[in-house]
Amino acid sequence: MDSLSTRYLRAKKIPSTACGGCGLGQVHKKILMAMDELALGVGDVVWGSGIGCAGRQTFNTWKGDNFAGTHGRVYAIATGLRLALPEDKKIIITSGDGDAFGIGLSHLLHCARRNVDITVIVADNLGYQSTGGQYGYTTPLGFVSDSSPYGAIEQNWIQNGIDILDVLRAGGATFLARHSSLEGYDAVKSVKAAIKNVGFSLIHFIYPCVSHFGPVSLKTRDIDRIFHWFKGIFEAGGVFGENFKSGIFHDAGNSRPEFASSLRSQRAEVEAGHLR
């Protein structure tokens, strides 16, 4: 283990059971680097995880308090925790594209609408990879998967002028960013900004799946070719089009009331007898 993970993660969980070359750990590391720069300790963060590769590989790795949500429900559980925990306790969620943008999308949107102070890291492997590689909500159009042997025809959430981050912005999210797990410090800066925002923050991280997306959709197991394909996502000729950029997508940090603090203020008013 490196010095960063030794400080924050449980030794018996690292290395994770993720496939060798899976990019999920690159996302995981950037979250830890951001926490380190913000001088957050193990006791300052409660870490929740969703279901799928992203949930399984990050679940219970955190040395501090942590929990797993049922599929797509981790955002609702986090909302409850936000109400129960002291306001300075950070809540960070790692989930996947299926969990956040499909199965749990309604819960996610309600968190954005309420502007619940949580940071959601969506680690996106471009499909349902833990179940064998079926197409999902971000699989590029035309790409072959286990469930689209002739190419995916179903419109996804990130192509042809449709963008899930637009949906979340319209829904009230106050910080949104998009990166590849292969990026460097820019991605860490976004995670820091997301954690600092007192409101609903989400970062969409695309990462390489080398066991299903690589061999089935890209037709290669070669780590160099997989690396360069994923590197090219945000470059000219990238699969999701010219407007698909990495970086901060929307920053309305601290511009709207946060759900738990609104409730706390109202409770104080009621207790003081100002509201009847």
Partner 1 sequence: MMARRCEITLDADGCKGCGYCETVCPMNVYERGAFINERGYTPYRAVRPELCVGCMQCYYVCPDFCLDVTPDEVSR
How far is the C-alpha of 205 from the C-alpha of 124, rounded, in Å?
Answer: 6
Q: Pick the binder of ligand SF4 from 66, 94, 125, 180 (CB under 6 A).
A: 125
In the bound state with ligand SF4, the residue whose beta carbon lies nearer, of 197 and 211, is: 211
Q: Six-digit token pair at 204?
A: 């969409």
Question: How many Cα atoms sit within 13 Å of 122 on the Cβ side?
Answer: 29
Least CB distance from residue 191 to ligand SF4, whole Å? 20
Sole residue written with tokens 């990879």: 129
Helices (H), the chain: 3-8, 24-37, 53-58, 74-84, 97-98, 105-114, 164-171, 185-196, 223-231, 259-271
Shortest spacing between CB 95 and partner 1, in angstroms: 18
In the list ligand SF4, partner 1, none, the entry touching 5 (Cβ below 5 to 8 angstroms by class) is partner 1
Cβ-based nearer residue to partner 1, 19 or 68: 19
Strands 90-96 and 175-180: unpaired
* 49: contact with ligand SF4 by CB under 6 A: no
Q: Which string of x and - marks every residue 14-33 that binds ligand SF4 (by CB under 6 A)? A: ----xx--x-x---------
Helices and strands per DSSP (H, E), number in the chain = 10, 7
CB closer to partner 1 out of 62 and 75: 62
Q: Which of 30, 178, 179, 212 binds ligand SF4 (CB under 6 A)?
A: 212
Q: How far is CA 167 from CA 117, 145, 162, 179, 211, in A?
A: 18, 26, 9, 18, 30
Interactions with ligand SF4, residue window 232-261 (CB under 6 A):
none
Contact call for residue 20 and partner 1 (CB under 8 A): yes
Enter the DSSP assignment of 233.
G
Of 72, 131, 60, nearest to 97 (Cα)?
Answer: 72
**Which of 2, 87, 154, 269: binder of partner 1 (CB under 8 A)?**
2
Question: Which does residue 182 bind out of partner 1, ligand SF4, none, counting CB within 5 to 8 angstroms by kind?
Answer: partner 1
Among partner 1, ligand SF4, none, residue 184 binds (CB under 5-8 Å by kind):
partner 1
**DSSP classification of residue 134:** B
Q: According to the binding rule CB under 8 A, does residue 235 interact with partner 1?
A: no
Query: Which residues, numbered 153-182, are part of the site for partner 1 (CB under 8 A)?
Result: 181-182
End-to-end CA distance of the chain: 57
CB 120 within 8 A of CB 95: yes
Q: Which residues contact ligand SF4 by CB under 6 A?
A: 18-19, 22, 24, 53, 125, 129-130, 209-212
Residues engaged in binding partner 1 (CB under 8 A): 1-5, 9, 14-16, 18-26, 28-30, 181-185, 210, 223-224, 227
